[in-house]
Structure 1
Amino acid sequence: METLQVISLFLLCCFGVGVTGQATCYCDTETADCIDNSCILELASSHECIVDYNVNTKKLRHHCLQPFLTCHSGDDVISSCCNHNSSCNRCLVPEGISYEICITLTLPDGCPPLNCSQDISPTPAEDFSPKYLILCVLLGVIVVVVGIVLVVIIVCVCWARRRCTHQVGKLSPTPSQCEKDSFDSRYVGMSSSGVTQGRGRNLEERTIADDICKESMIARGGYGEVWKCSRHGDPVAVKIFVKDSEESCERERKIYTSGLLRHPNIVEYIATDKKCLHFGIELWLIMKYYRYGSLDRHIINNSITPVKAHRILYSITSALHFLHNPVNTSYGVAYGGIAHRDLKTPNILVEDERGNCVVTDFGLSVLADDFKPGAPPVKVMVGTKRYMAPEVLNGTINTNELDAFCVADMYAFGLVMWEILRRAETNGKASEHQIPYQNSLCEHPTIDDIRRVVVEQCVRPELEERWKDDECLSVVSNLMKECWTPSPDGRPTATRIKKKLETICYEMKNGF
């Protein structure tokens, strides 16, 4: 066999004729079976010369057709064959290639220029290939998946709406219960012709939440969010509780409605409602909107005069005096008898530029009814850690009496007083705002950290010498130190502080 190949190669080189007597074929120099651009005898015996175009590499290839192959095009190759003369495939262009392919071809040297016509039809390889088949399959799968997702979404929405319809009246009592209550609509709900009547509503009617539009978020906390909203063009504040805060929402609703919590220094309650959404229910507590915002934001951005500091303190003390002292009316309704348990500057709202304030956020408060026989035990470790009283931190508070929690409120009020006094001006200067124990604790302390500083080391916020230069601030700083006393029995009541503030000369000159 090797001898035959040598003889064939010799004849091919010398005479340009194969052993079969047929013409040789032109081949590319980079092909392994190609010698001097001619196919060897074994390949020339096929009697066919071929040129093909590879649509992937975009190149022409000239060679001899194998004896066992036929001349035809495939998905990735466009071929043409010839056998009419020697090297007939040298200048041959594959039939059926498109105009776009034709103009990119480069023929061997000595070939005439290509005559590409724009009416050449697209090649079968461009019309269809496995890539298009894969694309069609992927598109089909995507369509099926999207269809399934849409069906699941529709089912979830229908289920959520059905659940919302069944649960929407959970917080509110029945209409018959509503008829037994007679509340001033300015404080506890809409008028009799309105939607929500304080403690309940007719579920067949349009609710107040349907008439409220959100405008901007005011604050966000562990309970949820507070939004500035509008109802018929009038601003209102809406406290939106997260799913796990339903107990806190119900607690606030109970305090605002069952005890007729009306006082100039308590936030004005409007209604409680539920907002049905596609994927659940939002609990809404609707209140009056106070445009000056929370006290902490107000004193961070503004220093205050001693007169304004006095009015702020007097407002808060008046609210605590009202809350801590229950009053039984002649017709059997009790006012007050509430311990706040989360008193701090973010839970106090500024009503006007003069400094009148209101206390808000009663989600952790306890009532006198919580200490009656048979009532569930009161949780102790609740509220904001920095404002917790020493007896709360060490667990020695008397959990059987409301007064013990009212006294803990007075400790927190002492820290609020300190924040306010730092921003009060003396001789035209005021200190920067700080949160309690800012210099003694890290930004996010644990209960153990605060217990160590407040209880074990008995650390208290630093007093400022400049307060002694002002009669009002001097009196307030002394009251503040009494509120910090480690022993609950040594702290003043809200009633005593209220009376003391009434005697300060600033308010005696300016009036209440």
Structure 2
Amino acid sequence: MDSKVEKAVLREGGFRSKLKGLGSLSNKDMLVRADKVDLKRLDIQLDQQLNKVWAKGKPVKPNETWEIDVAKLEIRYEVARGTYGTVYRGVYDGQDVAVKLLDWGGDGYSTEAETAALRASFQKEVAVWHELDHPNVTKFIGGSMGTSELKIPQKSSSGNGSTSVPTQACCVIVEYLPGGTLKNYLIKNIRKKLAYKTVINLALDLARGLSYLHSKKVVHRDVKTENMLLDGQRNLKIADFGVARVEAQNPKDMTGETGTLGYMAPEVLDGKPYNRKCDVYSFGICLWEIYCCDMPYPNLSFAEVSSAVVRQNLRPDIPRCCPSALANIMRRCWDPSPDKRPEMDEVVRLLEAIDTCKGGGMIPQEQGSTRCFCFFPALGP
């Protein structure tokens, strides 16, 4: 037998043996002239048949509408590292972005069930964030539930090489805002303070953003100046919405290290049920911080703050130089009773009605002592 024909017969016999188990051929069909065999066609048919068999019971899940194309993302350098993840500067599809990686499951703390629950919650809340569109809410660009293909710098912008992301990591991509956090902006102005008009503009941006979120049935639950970002024109945008709620469930969460106790409503601190009014309380604290460019409760420990806020109605000291219209908004927002706190849309209207033409800003430290002389103690809200 010609060697080429012999090889063809052997290959045909191999394909027949593979296809026999599929039940598509009879015994009569097994007798075929080797020189009439179309091997290329058989290769294609075999691949198609096997793919159908292997695919049974394993449907391919379509990507979510918010999932990114990993190939379009370039992560350039680390910006910040926190308890729950790391933030990087990057470019996605030609746009400057901030990339936050949340690593669940690979830390040795989370069980498989806990990790699955966290990822399911993340997926649900990111889907909500994807639908939001407001000038005072950081624009969500996309995310990914499986980021193992990403390459990230090892340390910083000057570092060499890259490292792979753990397979359990989740990735969130948002617009990059060059102004940094509101917290850092206030720290930079701790001595000279902010003009009253700037205070009201920042407060209005935050109030409008929260009012929008609440209108969409979204509760931020981690309102603080660290979670507010500024663009190049000093417009404020709310960040870390939604994801903050998922993060709070992380077993590594140590409340004393998060720095958010000073913003927490008493009902939250006391473990009671709460709703969107917890954001209103936190807004009141942020409003005080924006006006004063200072930290509330600087001399108290986290444990002391938690206890005093719940049991003694502790609130930040309002300066005597603070206009009564603004001071009244603060007091109403941090009322111990959630029902007595205003809705955020009402807060927007109250702030819009304030006249900033006559001044009223905080007195700079250069004109007073090392700590503003116009503070006076507030015994309660």
TM range (shorter): 0.5 to 0.7
- Checking the alignment, whether the CA contact within 8 Å between 1:251 and 1:364 is kept in structure 2 is no
Any stretches of 5+ residues in structure 2 without a counterpart? 1-59, 106-117, 150-163, 247-253, 359-381
Q: Which amino acid aligns with 1:291?
A: P
Q: Counterpart of 2:76 in structure 1: which amino acid? A: E
Select 2:286's aligned residue among 416, 421, 444.
Answer: 416
- SS of the aligned residue for 1:280 comes to coil
Aligned 8 A contact 2:137 2:239 in 1: yes
Relative to 1, partners in 2 of residues 1:320 and 1:360: Cα closer, same or farther, differing over 3 Å? Answer: same
Question: Could you say what the CA RMSD is over the residues aligned between the two structures, in angstroms?
Answer: 2.9
Q: Structure 1 340/507 Cα, relative in aligned 2: closer, same or farther at 3 Å?
A: farther
Q: What is the CA distance between 1:279 and its match in structure 2?
A: 6.8
Q: SS of the counterpart of 2:289?
A: helix
Matches of 2:128 and 2:119, distance apart in 1? 14
User: Which residue identity does 2:187 align to in structure 1?
Assistant: I
Q: Which one of the candidate residues 464, 467, 471 is aligned to 2:322? A: 467
Residue 286 of structure 2 aligns with an amino acid whose one-letter code is V
CA-to-aligned-CA distance 1:304-327 (integer Å, 9 cap, x gap): 2211111111011111111112xx
Partner residue in 1 for 2:43: none
Aligned counterpart in structure 2 of residue 437 of structure 1, from 292, 297, 307: 297
Return the alpha-carbon distance in structure 2 between the equivalents of residues 437 and 477 of structure 1: 17
Structure 1 spans left out of the alignment, 5+ residues: 1-171, 179-197, 201-206, 326-335, 367-380, 398-403, 424-432, 469-473
Judged with a 3 Å threshold, the aligned counterparts in structure 2 of structure 1 residues 279 and 480 are, in CA distance, closer, same or farther, namely: closer
Match of residue 348 from structure 1: 228
SS for the counterpart of 1:272 is: strand
Could you say which residue in structure 1 is the equivalent of 2:345? 495
- Distance in structure 2 (CA, Å) of the matches to 1:251 and 1:227: 23
Q: 2:102 aligns with which of 218, 235, 241?
A: 241
Q: Please show how residues 62-77 of structure 1 align to structure 2 within 5 Å.
A: none
Larger radius of gyration: 1
Equivalent-residue separation in structure 2 for 1:173 and 1:358 (angstroms) = 34
Change (3 A) 1:386 1:246: farther
Tell me by how many angstroms 1:495 deviates.
Answer: 1.0
Aligned-partner SS, 2:322: helix
**Aligned equivalents of 1:279 and 1:314: distance in 2?**
39
Partner of 2:238: 359
Choose from 190, 194, 217 the match for 2:78: 217
Which one-letter code corresponds to 1:266 in the other structure? V
- For residue 166 of structure 2, what is the aligned residue in structure 1? 280
| CA deviation after TM superposition for structure 1 residue 254, in Å | 2.3
Q: Structure 1: how far apart are the matches of 2:298 and 2:217?
A: 33
Distance 1:251 1:297, change over 3 A: farther
Cα distance in 2, alignment partners of residues 292 and 458 from structure 1: 35
Counterpart in the other structure of 1:312: 202
8 Å Cα contact 1:251-1:363 kept in structure 2: no
Secondary structure, aligned partner of 2:76: strand
Give CA-to-partner distance per residue, 1:171-217, whole Å, 9 cap, x none.
Answer: x9515xx6xxxxxxxxxxxxxxxxxxx334xxxxxx63333222332
Structure 1 residues 454, 279: CA separation in 2 closer, same or farther (over 3 Å shift)? Answer: closer
Q: Note the 1:46-61 alignment, pairs <5 A.
A: none
CA contact 1:338–1:365 (8 Å) conserved in 2: no
Residue 457 (structure 1) aligns with: 312
Contact 2:261–2:306 at 8 Å: present in 1 too?
Answer: no
SS in 2 for 1:339: coil
Kindly indicate whether the alpha-carbon contact (under 8 Å) linking 1:219 and 1:227 is maintained by their aligned counterparts in 2.
yes
Q: 2:206 is aligned with what amino acid? A: I
> What is the distance in 2 between the residues matched to 1:343 and 1:248?
19
Q: TM-score scaled by structure 1?
A: 0.47
3-state SS in 2 of match to 1:222: coil
What secondary structure does 2:314 align onto?
A: coil
**Residues 499 and 247 (structure 1), Cα distance of their counterparts in 2 relative to 1, 3 Å cut:** same
Q: SS of the residue aligned with 1:467?
A: coil
Count, aligned residues: 259
Q: Shift of residue 365 of structure 1?
A: 4.4
TM-fit CA distance, 1:242: 1.5
Report the Cα offset of residue 297 of structure 1.
Answer: 0.9
- Residues 279 and 479 (structure 1), Cα distance of their counterparts in 2 relative to 1, 3 Å cut: closer
Q: Match of 1:292, as an amino acid? A: G
What CA deviation, in whole Å up to 9, does each residue of 1:449-474 have, x standing for no partner? Answer: 33321111221111111223xxxxx4
Kindly indicate whether the alpha-carbon contact (under 8 Å) linking 2:74 and 2:91 is maintained by their aligned counterparts in 1. Answer: yes
Of 283, 294, 298, which residue of structure 1 is paired with 2:181? 294
Which amino acid is 1:217 matched to? Answer: E
Alignment partner of 1:392 is 2:268: yes
**Following the alignment from structure 1 to structure 2, what is the Cα–Cα distance between the partners of residues 307 and 452?**
35
**Residue 407, structure 1, aligned to residue 295, structure 2:** no
Distance in structure 2 (CA, Å) of the matches to 1:507 and 1:218: 38
